[in-house]
Amino acid sequence: MKFIVSSSYLLKQLQVLGGIINSNNTLPILDNFLFNLDNNLLTVSASDLETTISSKLEVESNEKGSICVPARLLLDTLKTFSEQPLTFTVEENNTIEISSSHGKYALAYASGEEFPSAIELQDPNTTTLLGDVLATAISKTIFAAGNDDLRPVMSGVFFQFSTESLTFVATDAHKLVKYTREDISASETTEFIMPKKPLNLLKSILAGSEEEVIIEYNESNAKFSFDNTEMICRLIDGKYPNYEAVIPKENPNKLSIDRNQFLNSVRRISIFSNKTTHQIRLKIAGSELNISAEDIDYSNKAEERLTCDYQGDDMQIGFNSRFLTEMLNNLSSDEVSLEMSLPNRAGILTPVDGLDEGERITMLVMPVMLNS
């Protein structure tokens, strides 16, 4: 088995695939890339058992074969080369030799048959959308997903597809984000929970991409196909909580404010907040928003006044500044709206501008009890 490939082209593809490989695998074979050669088409795969990702590369060859190559060793070697053709040759003594313009490098390889084979999806449903749209949906929601192993359903992003729209939801019980595209729909109604790791990988690969992504899914697995890449992953098993029930419908108190000004103010004030609760206080009266925090243990306190547009009763409400900062950071609008009903009910944060046609985003943040 022998093939010739461009060093930078190979490195670029392998760096993408390498993102799925765990640093400590239970199965040693998962520390490898699977190289599957079929004449001038090389399919490279990587897996962590839950997720398998593979890319097709064009190479110069008229041979066939399948081997597993140590991922870390190969990546570290490729990073040092300037752009040049590399020749890979499988030798008799169970090594694969890489020949560059400067020298030769031999790596031990394993048989391709040892590598776990990817799952085939039975009777999948299919939805197609633009790569950048999917990347945006992931980045707008994934930060709100939980990390609690005891509640695995909340550690992923909930995909809810219908014949009218596509909705993506993430929550960790303190904050919730619902991102909807009303300009895209699926052929039939379905829902599934995607784990974070493959989503983070998709987000980095697809950002800004004009390629179409085909999503196929059934009860237990989902497959994403785009460009020359395929990713199959196991879905999180379980029923997603009824998130609509926690979004308060009646919110008579509405605050509109410049996002950047609000974000910078919350960031500054939070430096003076208690290091365990991160509590900040919003006091709204007329067109004035007063943001304050106090850490009684260290006698640190701060307050700022901002002008805002407010309709509703005067009120005081407490929030965890970290959650508020994360949410404001994730919006790209110039102005945001914060709707509230009572100091013990969730606040709803939405962008006032900057959304595409058919794009909707709702962020919900739970309040914290104010100590008077």
pLDDT value at residue 70: 97
CA of 258: how far to CAs of 21, 254, 334, in Å?
A: 42, 14, 6
pLDDT at 149 over 90: no
Tens digit of each residue's pLDDT (9 = 90 or more) over 65-99 = 999 999 999 999 999 999 999 999 999 899 999 99
Tens digit of each residue's pLDDT (9 = 90 or more) over 122-143 = 989 999 999 999 999 999 999 9
* Domains in the chain, CATH or no CATH each: 2-114 (3.10.150.10), 125-175+183-244 (3.10.150.10), 247-368 (3.10.150.10)
pLDDT at 370 over 90: no
Residue 161 phi/psi, 5-degree rounding, is: -105, 135
pLDDT value at residue 112: 95
Share of the chain above pLDDT 70, in %: 100
Q: In which band, very low, low, confident or very high, does the pLDDT at 371 lie, cut at 50, 70 and 90?
A: confident
CA of 328: how far to CAs of 135, 315, 322, 358, in Å?
A: 19, 21, 10, 21
Contact 195/172 with Cβ under 8 angstroms?
no
| pTM of the model as a whole | 0.92
Tens digit of each residue's pLDDT (9 = 90 or more) over 181-214 = 999 999 899 999 999 999 999 999 999 999 999 9
Contact 133/184 with Cβ under 8 angstroms?
yes
The DSSP element (H or E) to which 51 belongs, if any, is: strand 51-58
pLDDT value at residue 372: 61
Torsion sign over Cα 87, 110, 80, 226: positive
Strands 279-285 and 288-295: antiparallel
Tens digit of each residue's pLDDT (9 = 90 or more) over 216-248 = 999 999 999 999 999 999 999 999 999 999 999
Closest Cα to residue 25, out of 55, 47, 44?
A: 47
pLDDT value at residue 90: 96
